[in-house]
C-alpha cells in the first residue's frame, strides 16, 4: 500500500504543473495552493489512513474481537 501511495503521489506531482491551482482568500491575504501539492498530500494521507486502519483491525483481531471477519 505504501509503495502504491508513494508512486501515485509522485505521478500526481509530475502530471500537474506548479502554475495551476486554487486561490484561498482570507481577510488579509491570499494563499495559492497548486493542484500537484494537493494531489501529493492526498495520496500520502490515503496511504497512511489505510495503513492505520489495517493495523488497528489486526490489533482488534488479535485481542479477540470476532465481528471483524
- Kindly list the distances between the CA atom of residue 29 and the CA atoms of 23, 42, 44, 64, in Å, as whole numbers in the listed order: 10, 24, 28, 53
pLDDT digits (tens, 9 = 90+) for 11-55: 777 777 777 888 889 888 998 888 777 777 887 788 889 889 989
Phi and psi at 31, nearest 5°, equal -115, 125
> Which residue range forms the structural domain that includes residue 12?
2-68
* Backbone angle region of 16, left / alpha / beta, with phi > 0 → left and psi within -120 to 50 → alpha: beta
User: Which residues make Cβ contacts (< 8 Å) with residue 47, sequence separation at least 6?
Assistant: 1, 2, 4, 5, 6, 9
What's the number of domains the chain is made of?
1
Confidence of residue 63 (pLDDT cuts 50, 70, 90): confident
Predicted confidence band at 2 (pLDDT cuts at 50, 70, 90)? Answer: low
Specify the pTM: 0.55
Amino acid at each position: 500500500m505504501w509503495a502504491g501511495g508513494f508512486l501515485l503521489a509522485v505521478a500526481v506531482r509530475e502530471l500537474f504543473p506548479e502554475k495551476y491551482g486554487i486561490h484561498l482568500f482570507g481577510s488579509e491575504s491570499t494563499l495559492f495552493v497548486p493542484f500537484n501539492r494537493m494531489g501529493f498530500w492526498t495520496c500520502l494521507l490515503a496511504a497512511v489512513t489505510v495503513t492505520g486502519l489495517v493495523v488497528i483491525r489486526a490489533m482488534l483481531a488479535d485481542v479477540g474481537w470476532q465481528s471483524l471477519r
